[in-house]
Structure formats: structure tokens, C-alpha cells
Amino acid sequence: MHGALTSQAVPIKLLLIEDDPSMQATLRRTLSRRGMEVTSCTDGRQALDSWHGCDPDVVMLDLTLPGLDGLQVLEQARRAGLATPVLILTARGTVGDRIIGLNTGADDYLPKPFDLDELEARLRALARRRGDVALPAATGMQTVGALRLERESGAIYHREQVMELTPRELALMRALMAKPDHAVSKEKLFELVFPGESDVHYEAIEVVVYRLRKKLAPTGVTLMTLRGLGYLLKAGE
């Protein structure tokens, strides 16, 4: 682990879930010195309580934890509607582990040992995904038709049921719900849904849109394409 972090203009609220005392202390000290507000815990069962309590901008999650392992923590968090972007940090570096983590609901993956500059870049990209679509502080929710975006948890509800969305679908929906009846450009959505992923084809955003349209069909909310402008959400008449 090497490299030096650059300064942060806007503090990131980070939840660090790491059971190795030395690693946790190093990351907490280094990231705090660079302006991040770091909350840390070492136990999988404590992690969910901390997650609910501190409302982080991004979560850094180790897979090997006592109590509950990282994948169990992530699965339960997503099931509870906690939509915070998650970076998995682990010594497990195989492709299979990476796929399992991403399929469980992680947004990014960084194996140990890692470079601190790369870690910072990934954390900032994930935090921007949440910050760029943040709702005004005065409101606790944003609604479009029968859909409701809860500010505190980041979850999207259809009536009283949490919608089962992948992290990419959720990132796209949060961006669109922040600006109902206004088009969000394809370029902006790509940045939010695939942050820092230079190896992803630009057309991949269309795949996410296609899947979302199928899930939105029963809600009465339409995901519209405006040629040359982007996409917008429109409630049914």
C-alpha cells in the first residue's frame, strides 16, 4: 500500500468496515487527514447499525469480517434499502470473488495491496455518484408519480414497497428523480452509473435504461428518451 492522497475540497462521509486493526488505523488516520469524515467498525453485525446511523456518502467494506462476512453485510444492507455506493476492499483478488461481490450489490472492487491514489480516486467517484443527485436538505423525499425516493436511505419505493433495483439501476433512477420532468443527458448519466469505468462501452447506459423500463411498467412512471437531450421520468396522467 503506497502513494499519497490529494486534498479534498468537499469532505466525504466514509464508513470504513475493516477488521484488521493496523489497516483500519492507517486508513482512518490517512483519510481523516485529507478531510474525510471517517466512521469505522470491525464487526459485520455492528456494520449495519453503523451504516444506518451515520448515513455515509460511500462505504468501504472488507469481505473477511467477524459476525457477518462482508457479502452478508452487503446483501442485508441492500435488502433493507441502503443504497449507499460500496467499494469492496479485500485480499480476495480472484475474478470469481469480484463477480460475486458486484452481483451482491457492490459498486466497485479494489484488492489488497492497493495504491492510495487509486483508492482515493475510486472513493471520490463513488461519492460523486451520490452527491450529484443529492436532494435539497429541506426535503426528506422526492416523488415522481407513485414512486418515492427516500433521502435518508437512498431507497426508491413504489407505494410502500422497496423497488428491487441493481446499484446501476438505482444510480440512474436517483439522478432522474432528482430532476423530474427534466432531461438528464446521456453523458451525465453514464458518469453517475459507470464512474471511472473507462473500459465500459458508452452504449451500456442503454442496457440499464432498457431494464429499468421493464421494472417501471407496473408503476405508471415512464422513462422517456428525448433525442439529443437525454432521458427523463414522467408520471402517468
Residue pLDDT, tens place only, 196-236 = 777 778 788 899 999 999 999 999 999 998 887 889 888 87
> In this structure, what CATH number is given to the domain that contains residue 38?
3.40.50.2300
Output the nine-digit C-alpha cell for 217.
411498467
> In this structure, what CATH number is given to the domain that contains residue 186?
1.10.10.10
Query: If you average pLDDT over every residue of the chain, what do you get?
Result: 80
Amino acid at 120: E
- How far is it, in rounded angstroms, from Cα 88 to Cα 12? 17
CB burial of residue 13 (10 Å; 0-12, 13-18, 19+): middle
Q: Are residues 115 and 151 in the same domain?
A: no
Edge-to-edge strand order for the sheet containing 156-158?
Answer: 141-144, 147-150, 156-158, 161-162
Q: Are residues 101 and 158 in the same domain?
A: no
- How far is it, in rounded angstroms, from Cα 140 to Cα 217? 26
Q: Are residues 107 and 26 in the same domain?
A: yes
Q: Are residues 124 and 23 in the same domain?
A: yes
Q: Which residue has the higher pLDDT, 209 or 139?
A: 209
Q: Are residues 75 and 127 in the same domain?
A: yes
Query: Does residue 182 lie in a domain region?
Result: yes
Output the nine-digit C-alpha cell for 85.
455506493
Q: Are residues 108 and 147 in the same domain?
A: no
Rounded to the nearest 5 percent, the helix, strand and coil shares of the chain are 40, 20, 40
Question: Last residue of a domain, which of 131, 155, 175?
Answer: 131
Residue 179: give the domain boundaries.
Answer: 141-235
227 CB-near residues (< 8 Å, 6+ apart): none
Q: Are 142 and 151 in contact (CB under 8 A)?
A: yes
pLDDT bucket at 138, cuts 50 / 70 / 90: very low
Q: Are residues 181 and 200 in the same domain?
A: yes
Question: Last residue of a domain, which of 87, 105, 131?
Answer: 131
Residue pLDDT, tens place only, 45-85 = 889 889 988 889 899 998 888 888 888 898 888 888 788 88
Question: Last residue of a domain, which of 108, 131, 154?
Answer: 131
Say what the pLDDT of residue 103 is: 66
Query: Does residue 127 lie in a domain region?
Result: yes
Output the nine-digit C-alpha cell for 88.
469492496
Query: Does residue 73 lie in a domain region?
Result: yes
Query: Does residue 112 lie in a domain region?
Result: yes
Total structural domains in the chain?
2
Query: Does residue 136 lie in a domain region?
Result: no
Q: Are residues 36 and 90 in the same domain?
A: yes
Provide the 3-class DSSP secondary structure of residue 111. Answer: strand
Q: Are residues 94 and 162 in the same domain?
A: no
